[in-house]
Amino acid sequence: MSFTHRCWAEIDLDALRGNLAWLRYRIGPQKKILTVVKADAYGHGLRQVAALLMQAGTDIFGVANLQEARDIRSVGRGFPILMLGACLPDEVETAVKDNVMPTLSTIAEARAFSATAARLGKSVQAHLKVDTGMGRLGAPVDAVPKLLAAVDRLPHLRVTGLYTHYAAAEDDAAYSRRQRRAFEKLVQQLARDGRGFDFIHANNSAALLHEPDAMCNLARPGLLVYGVLPPGRRRAPALLKRHLRPALSLKCRVALVKTIEPGASLSYGRSFVASRRMRVATLTAGYGDGYLRSGSGSARVLVGGRLCSVLGRITMDQLMVDVSRVRAQPGDEAVLIGKQGRAEITAQQLAQWCGTVPWEILTAITYRVPRLYCGGSAA
Ligand SMILES: *Cc1c(COP(=O)(O)O)cnc(C)c1O
């Protein structure tokens, strides 16, 4: 084909490999690691990322649906997969057949899995989730001992993992401590009753940075694997910035450069009106690529190695930036996330400009944007 891309993502597999290696070093040799690859591996491309993480030594994968589990299996067999959401009633059979470990919160779910496994002549390993304050999934802490005793009596089902999820590990130290203490107490109580687990886990990326995890033997990071720091009031240790590298860059091109006069307005809704003569570049990306419209008037883009302000509304396929102070011409590369020269825009920074979180920035990148891989050895 004799054309290039208009908007694309570059995924550095060596960065992913380095991030996983560093996280393993940080959690220590006694603990295992579950890498979260839901939502197309946070927009990085599930198959390629899963293959790389298998080579780089992940122990378990975390997914949000059964198709993701199948995509993982299509590039490598035998890796345990934990479904992080609750399975729908009509998903139970496929989960059992595909050997995907479910997350259980209720006896009804456990019974459905046990019965389905019996019918299929299989046995299911499951993780039981404890709600220590997230309020989304999991059994209330006090209800867990009785629930577990009941689940343990079901045939064809074995609870091999116990876990919980922090609601505000990046912001709220006191609340996180309460969640952690409640979980610790439960784990200790169950241990006194002789009930141990192969896997005990709680720590997402923010908790890995901020919460002790003595009672856990499995870490459960997503965002950090991709080299992006969770934002929040609790400050991440500075050394992280040196050891983790963002794996994804998002780029587009300058399609047109023009000069506008004072009083000229730009884009839909005319939210921007020029107060001076300025040079404006039209770029080949928009919200149809996942560059969020909420960045209109606040986001910045790298052109010519400098930060250039987004002017007016971001449209579906194009956006405009102020290039008055840089050299720019049609065909030039523009960086929406990533480095250009010595300047860098992180997903976290773009999220701030858009009034959202880096998780949404990454998973918003649409199907239209080709993912180009470099480094490592992809599937
Ligand atoms: C998504 C998810 C994670 C990973 O969260 P990060 O903040 O990206 O590290 C961990 N645990 C559960 C249950 C999740 O749903």
| pLDDT digits 0-9 by tens, 113-122 | 999 999 999 9
- Nearest-CA residue for ligand 1 atom 14 is 84
Distance 206 CA to ligand 1 centre (A): 9
Q: Which of 32, 38, 129, 251 is catalytic?
A: 38
| pLDDT of the residue at 163 | 98
Band (19; pLDDT cuts 50, 70, 90): very high
| pLDDT of the residue at 1 | 54
233 to 150, 158, 206, 236, 349: CA distances (angstroms)? 41, 39, 11, 9, 15
CA–CA distance, 375 with 8 (Å, rounded to integer)? 17
Q: What is the mean pLDDT of the chain?
A: 96
| pLDDT of the residue at 2 | 63
Residue 30 has pLDDT above 60, yes or no: yes
Measured from the CB, is residue 36 less than 6 Å from ligand 1? Answer: yes
Instruction: For residue range 223-262, list pLDDT tens digits in order.
Output: 999 999 999 999 877 777 789 999 999 999 999 999 999 9
29 contact partners, CB below 8 Å, separation of at least 6: none
Measured from the CB, is residue 84 less than 6 Å from ligand 1? Answer: yes
| pLDDT of the residue at 242 | 82
Band (377; pLDDT cuts 50, 70, 90): low
Band (272; pLDDT cuts 50, 70, 90): very high
Residue 378 has pLDDT above 70, yes or no: no
User: pTM score, two decimals?
Assistant: 0.96
